[in-house]
Structure 1
Amino acid sequence: MSINRKPRRPDVTTVELVGGPERLELELHDYDDGWPAVYLTHRHRIEATLALISVDIEHIGSTSVPGLAAKPIIDIVVGVEDITAEEDYLEPLLAAGYDLRVREPGHRLVRTPDRDVHVHLYERDDPAVEEYLLLRDHLRADAEDRALYEATKRKLLNRRWDDMNDYADAKTDVISAIKARARAARAV
């Protein structure tokens, strides 16, 4: 624990899925050169909204990887100092027009009302942030793994998904293998 860090409050201990499970209409789009601009628009909106606190903001997910087909949902990760200090970040983001979707231990998710931008909030030193960046950076650099990941997503299109979380879980083995190769490549 850092000396400058505020005392932590207990975090939530359960998963709250606001609105319950949602049926997923899965449709991959070819990479869109406009996705980075959408990210930047929301990055600036988040920076302005959270100007009173220190945050780290990154574009993650498939829309952050040039050339990769993706669901047209911009994923953003925001690192905050203390995930339990929701008054510092959650209340301002809700006031700025984002909707709360998930509150779970160590993680909050807000999204636009149109559900086309998902903002994942973690403490900045949470290993999940590094995992997102590891996958993103490797897929940007490795055409073979990028093609494998896209082929996996296309294969999963043939199934019916009653919840986006189920779709995400179905990709876990491939993502784990890609991240293992990414770690090995970093070690060289």
Structure 2
Amino acid sequence: MVREGSEAMIQLPVFAHYDFDDSLRAGQEQDVDLRRRFTIKDYDVKWPEQFSNIKADLEVDLAEGSVTYTSIEHIGSTSVPGLCSKATTDLWANVWEEAVIDICIVVPRKEFTQEKLAHFQTALRFGSRQGGYHYIGDGGVQDRWSFKLKGVVPLRNLYVVAKGSIPLRAYISLRTVLRKDEELRQEYGATKRRLAMLYDDQVRTYCGLKRPVIRKIFLADGWTNKEVDEAEAQAKRDWPERTPADFFEQDECDLLGEGAIAKTAPTASPEGRNIIASEMRPTSNLCHNG
């Protein structure tokens, strides 16, 4: 929902490459859910440690399940020192302005099979260190499997992607360029802050309107305009129709965004183990999308 008078105070970036088609306009109306908002949070030095704890637990769970992989990567805004990140408030889950740690597990292309998916589902669901992850599909993005873990903090998005895939290239490009290019990092952060002030309850619109600056980031990493066009077309074409509640059960930001806006998810305690939300908040009222 755009607040009255906001446009007069905030100058949006020029969206030279984005096609404001009818599907996006329709999505703005469907995307509004006042029970869940997000804001933008300044960089926090604890984010790398949170990722390291999550990674350590995942390594144990995947080893227990005899699941092989190439690497576990920290992606998204929390992986870039100095960059602000989305923080989610979910009133149903009683989570207030928590940043989301995005994790990407890379597997060889030839192993990106349904059999491999079944192995990941078992290991991530029944692992002794974390466990509890549920597979929620591909989120409309080819060569990517998405998993959700409910009722723990900090929040997280977990993806398994094929080596050499467009999603992996996009994640690594964003991280690489934003870590080394201060000017683009500042532009991207400023764009996120402006859009969040206008669309803090419309995550699909927020993600879509970041595409122009994300295009600049990809071009800086050697993508061609044609490659970015093809990736955007795939993301728009494959994005399934969802209700507002569904947006927080699956990942709503396409592969050209940062991954998903948060569901309720986890980070580990100093001992490296997850803290269950109900243990932290006596009044926690978790629901199916909490």
Offset at residue 161 of structure 1 (A): 5.2
1:57 equivalent in structure 2: 72
SS, match of residue 215 in structure 2: helix
* CA distance in structure 2 between the partners assigned to 1:168 and 1:102 by the alignment: 19
Q: Does 1:125 align with 2:155?
A: no
SS across alignment from 1:50: helix
**Cα gap change, 1:108/1:162 in structure 2, threshold over 3 Å: closer, same or farther?**
farther
Map Cα deviations across residues 76-107 of structure 1 (whole Å, 9 max, x no partner). 11112314232111222122122334434422
Contact 1:83 1:107 in 2 (8 A): no
Task: Answer yes or no: is the 8 Å Cα contact 2:67–2:123 preserved in 1.
Answer: no
Distance in 2, matches of 1:61 and 1:49, equals 23
Rate the CA distance shift 1:57–1:153 in 2: closer, same or farther, 3 A: same
Structure 1 position 132, deviation (Å):
0.8
Given that residues 173 and 217 in structure 2 are in contact (C-alpha distance below 8 angstroms), is that contact kept between their aligned partners in structure 1?
no
1:131-157 deviation digits (Å, cap 9, x = unpaired) = 211110110001000000001100111
**Equivalent of 1:147, from 171, 182, 186?**
186
- Structure 1 position 112 matched with structure 2 position 144: no
The 1:89–1:165 alpha-carbon spacing in structure 2 relative to 1, beyond 3 Å, is farther
Q: Which of residues 74, 79, 99 in structure 1 aligns to 2:106?
A: 79
5+ residue gaps, structure 2: 1-30, 87-98, 224-290
How far 1:49 sits from its partner (Å)? 1.5
- Structure 1 distance, partners of 2:169, 2:187, is 21
Q: Distance in 2 between matches of 1:63 and 1:35?
A: 6
The aligned residue for residue 13 of structure 1 is: none
Residue 127 of structure 1: CA displacement?
Answer: 2.6
Q: Which has the larger radius of gyration?
A: 2
Partner of 1:167: 206
Can you list the C-alpha shifts for 1:19-49, whole angstroms capped at 9, x where unaligned? xx78451211111110001101111122112
How far apart, in 2, do the equivalents of 1:152 and 1:83 lie? 37
Shift of 1:109: 1.3
Q: TM-score, normalised by structure 2?
A: 0.52
How many Å separate the matches in 2 of 1:164 and 1:54?
Answer: 34
**Secondary structure of 1:122's partner?**
strand
Shift of 1:75: 0.5
Shift of 1:53: 2.4
Whether the 8 Å contact between 1:62 and 1:69 is mirrored in structure 2 is yes
Report the aligned-residue RMSD: 2.3
Q: Does 1:89 align with 2:128?
A: no
Contact 1:79 1:125 survives alignment (8 Å)? no
Select 1:98's aligned residue among 133, 143, 152. 133
Change in Cα spacing, 1:83 to 1:126, as seen in structure 2 (3 Å) is farther
Identity of aligned residues (%): 30
Aligned residues: 165
Q: Which residue of 2 aligns with 1:16?
A: none
Q: Secondary structure at the match of 2:41?
A: coil
Could you tell me how far 1:170 is from its partner in structure 2? 2.1
Equivalent pair of 2:143/2:167 in contact (CA under 8 Å):
no
Give the structure 2 partner of residue 177 of structure 1: 216
Q: CA deviation at 1:166?
A: 3.6
